[in-house]
Structure 1
Amino acid sequence: MTSIPGGGADLDRWLAPFLAVLGRKTRRTWAPLYLRGLLGPGDRKSLQPMAARLGLGGHDQLQHFIASPAWNDAPLWSVLAQQADKLVGSPQAWLVIDDTALPKKGTMSVGVLPQYCGQLGKKANCQSLVSLTLAQGEVPVPVGLRLFLPKEWTDDPERCAQAGVPDAAMTLRAKGEIALDELDRLAAAGVRFGTVLADAGYGASAAFRQGLQARGLRWAVGIPRNQKVYSAAVQLVAPQGRAKKLVPNEEPAEAEKVLAAQAWRRITWRQGTQGALAARFAAARIRVGDGAVWGNNRHLPGDEAWLVGEWRSGGERKYYLSNLPADTPLRALAAAIKGRWVCEQAHQQLKQELGLGHFEGRSWTGLHRHALMSCIAFAYLQHLRLAAHRRTRRGKNAGPDAGPAALAEPARRAARHSRPAVRSSRHADPMSALPTQISVTSSQNAQVVLESF
């Protein structure tokens, strides 16, 4: 492959482990070109515009590379996981589980159906992808994107076959199931993280929470306000005068009612560009009502956990569960909860800068491979930012690099979300003092790369 001056040569070196698992020479040629198309200038990152900007005679070979089911891209996903771990993996990292929607026209693209689209803030025709993002501080690296197939698709095998959906994926699966499988894949690749974070779309599922628990993971997830919980002191007793199964000695209560009488404390989780980002929080130790059903659709107490409430400045209240240790301070619980928003930055940059939603093919393979290449391009940009930051630190004689910096681009945020969070400064997190506003094109090295294509 021809080296590109400056940042391009660095891209060649960085891609070496990816190219090593691609096998055939043709794939080792077209993969870097596709990445250059994503990283290069231009508003549209679909095949024809990229091919034109790359000076190709047509887009057929790019199309064949990205959509051909004749080769297995699982090794590339594994290398991406390993490279992400090198960038931000550690016991202090978050693994954020969420989903992101890609608006689409028509009905033929795989998985397209009218469903909630966060990008548009309403129900719309779109594809919904389950995403997993490894993050430390404010440095996210997407490591998994898998399409959720609605029931209307899995109930229509012919439609799935026309879109190239593998037989194993034609069974209806909840987003939480998909996320757990992806989590297992990352664990097998050796990705290091300390806590799994997810919103109420996942946290409302007892099966999902129990899946995390069974894997021995720490987690903090959103829940609906009416989630039933018991006090931590609940006991199972025999009903008086009758020989029946043991039942709780108290009735379960809704999460919002349990926290209503608690003391709420103002917690600042980080300093934003317009001042402190803060909300009021309350927490209580409880046992979740997610065990077996024992009567009138009531569930037995499950594991002990933290119930956390967030009272935002606009008056909105949100609720969360976490299995973080019983001695975890409220400030650390709040930091974990707010850490989830970093994935929103990754989603927006994937779409706005790297064309995640620009793929115009209809196939399962093409969509997932385009998503994979977008994630690899994103990881490369994070590599550039971190390298630039290390050079800056050395130039200022700041001592050895303490780890990933808060270098994620402050992509344009949806109005309904607050800014991403980092851990509290009380814990002297070395990442908290690092710069937060370096965009894709403001990093000197990234600019060299983008202008070299």
Structure 2
Amino acid sequence: MADAVRGASDLDSWLAPFLEVMGRKTRRTWAPLYLRGLLGPGERKSLQPMAMRLGLSGHDQLQHFIASPAWDDAPLWTVLAREADRLVGGPDAFLVVDDTALPKKGELSVGVARQYCGQLGKKANCQSLVSVTLAQGEVPVPVGLRLFLPETWTEEPDRCARAGVPGTEMAPPSKGEIALAELDRLRAAGVRFGTVLADAGYGASGEFRKGLTGRGLLWAVGIPRVQKVYGTAVQVTVPPGRRRRPVPDEEPRPAEEVLAGQSWRRVTWRQGTKGALAARFAATRVRVGDGGIWANNRHLPGEEVWLVGEWRSSGERKYHLSNLGPDASLRVLASTIKARWICVQAHQQLKQELGLGHFDGRSWTGLHRHALMTCIAFAYLQHLRLAQHRRTSRGKNAAPHPGTATITGPARPASGYLPPAVRPPRQTSPMPALQTPVPAHDPL
């Protein structure tokens, strides 16, 4: 417990690169205060409870800091990306694209609509955020959270304007387009990773897959079982006649049908706390049907990729595509696909421990800035735990942490380190005092 409190005391020094880009002195003071509110004890991480626990006379200044559109927080996202890269970035890291939903009541919070909510497992009133997480081994660091605006919002410009949605955001991009834009932002910030991972919500989009390939990236994504694919020997010809439309010399088939006759092998992708994690997998090379339409909504063959099937012990089957090289083993394919699970754990910790869904404001700026602060808090906790692990490893002459460059592939070593759950320290005493006093009211 004492170690956890001492660890929290270096928050101001760890935040130095973040504070350097914040401009006004008042922002450089309120940012550490807000983070202490997220990292400190208490179940609810909304403004009023945090202000009370921090000993403030009210929450107006916290509200002003988190929701004011008068300053640009883009530099903070850039610093976060660089800090995440320092912690877990490298050629063996994964960049995981996913959604996370925040259940909400009412209709005024920006982006709230009846849509699928993974937290509840059904359609419900919620906000949906596109998330991007950098991870290596089993250590995640969220580096991007951006609100998806459903059509019920983008069709009402006045409603968007009242919630402070920037004019550039009112065009309705798809979740895949948002994810690709976030990916470009992270690459511009110098974030290093080897493979992009995503579930079928993104992988079903041919445009998303082509966007990844066009950027020269390796990827592994989920797809629906009905995704049409061709054999690798398919030929496209232009038959004689007036129309001269190219046609393939074979019909495309659903992914599940193609893999039904394949050999399924049991593969263990890592050791869990309760033993080996394994399932049956099958894989074959195909050309995915995502080219131009040639007849009856059938698409021409596109890129040659791996089609991978996963047969879980529950009997459920999942399907995936990956552009890993033709020499990739089934174990490498399986371990790469299953590396995506770590973002789910990160989402849980962001919500349950750091209050991602606790923001009560209604504005675009407030929601995104609150999300940013929870990601910074998460990165700080990972910094503390990885530093503690390095000290322990030196004392025991243990193997290095998987966040270092010694990992040579996506498969987790049998002796790999599994860090404790990312959880803020439970404290019996208040967070350490700030080095600077709480300012009087001053515009941000």
- TM-score class normalised by the smaller sequence: over 0.9
Aligned to 1:156: 156
Q: Equivalent residues in 2 for 1:433-452 (5 A)?
A: 433-440=416-423, 452=432
Separation in structure 1 between the aligned mates of residue 428 and residue 372 of structure 2, nearest angstrom: 23
State the one-letter code of the partner of 2:62.
L
Gaps of 5+ in 1: 406-421
Distance 1:314 1:438, change over 3 A: closer
Q: Equivalent residues in 2 for 1:187-336 (5 A)?
A: 187-239=187-239, 244-336=244-336
Separation in structure 1 between the aligned mates of residue 90 and residue 281 of structure 2, nearest angstrom: 27
Aligned to 2:441: none
State the one-letter code of the partner of 2:106.
G
Give 1:314 deviation, angstroms.
0.8
Give 1:436 deviation, angstroms.
3.5
State the one-letter code of the partner of 1:179.
A
Q: Does structure 1 residue 424 correspond to structure 2 residue 423?
A: no
User: What is the percent sequence identity of the aligned residues?
Assistant: 73
Q: Which runs of 4+ in 1 moved over 4 A?
A: 240-243, 446-451
Aligned to 2:127: 127
Determine if contact 1:234/1:249 at 8 Å carries over to the other structure: yes
Using CA pairs below 8 Å that are at least 6 residues apart, which structure has the higher relative contact order? 2
Give 1:242 deviation, angstroms.
7.2
State the one-letter code of the partner of 2:423.
V
Q: Secondary structure at the match of 2:10?
A: helix
Give 1:437 deviation, angstroms.
3.0
Separation in structure 2 between the aligned mates of residue 367 and residue 390 of structure 1, nearest angstrom: 35
Separation in structure 2 between the aligned mates of residue 124 and residue 424 of structure 1, nearest angstrom: 37
Compare 80-89 and 432-441 and name the one that shifted more: 432-441
State the one-letter code of the partner of 1:390.
R
Separation in structure 2 between the aligned mates of residue 449 and residue 386 of structure 1, nearest angstrom: 24
Aligned to 1:414: none
Q: Secondary structure at the match of 2:145?
A: strand
Determine if contact 2:381/2:422 at 8 Å carries over to the other structure: no
Distance 1:218 1:25, change over 3 A: same
Separation in structure 2 between the aligned mates of residue 83 and residue 111 of structure 1, nearest angstrom: 29
Give 1:243 deviation, angstroms.
7.0
Give 1:423 deviation, angstroms.
3.8
CA RMSD in angstroms, aligned pairs only:
1.9
Q: Equivalent residues in 2 for 1:78-97 (5 A)?
A: 78-97=78-97
Determine if contact 1:7/1:449 at 8 Å carries over to the other structure: no
Aligned to 1:170: 170
Separation in structure 1 between the aligned mates of residue 430 and residue 294 of structure 2, nearest angstrom: 61
State the one-letter code of the partner of 1:404.
G
Separation in structure 1 between the aligned mates of residue 20 and residue 261 of structure 2, nearest angstrom: 59
Give 1:438 deviation, angstroms.
4.6
- Could you report, residue by residue, the CA deviation over 1:379-413 in whole angstroms, capped at 9, with x for unpaired residues? 000000100000100111337x35428xxxxxxxx
Separation in structure 2 between the aligned mates of residue 203 and residue 78 of structure 1, nearest angstrom: 27
Give 1:271 deviation, angstroms.
1.6
State the one-letter code of the partner of 2:326.
A
Determine if contact 2:95/2:197 at 8 Å carries over to the other structure: yes
Q: Secondary structure at the match of 2:38?
A: helix
- Could you report, residue by residue, the CA deviation over 1:408-438 in whole angstroms, capped at 9, with x for unpaired residues? xxxxxxxxxxxxxx9435xxx48x5213435
Gaps of 5+ in 2: 434-444
Q: Aligned pair count?
A: 426
Determine if contact 1:8/1:449 at 8 Å carries over to the other structure: no
Q: Secondary structure at the match of 1:6?
A: helix
Determine if contact 1:237/1:248 at 8 Å carries over to the other structure: yes
Determine if contact 2:265/2:280 at 8 Å carries over to the other structure: yes
Determine if contact 2:310/2:319 at 8 Å carries over to the other structure: yes
Separation in structure 1 between the aligned mates of residue 155 and residue 110 of structure 2, nearest angstrom: 13
TM (norm. structure 1) is 0.91
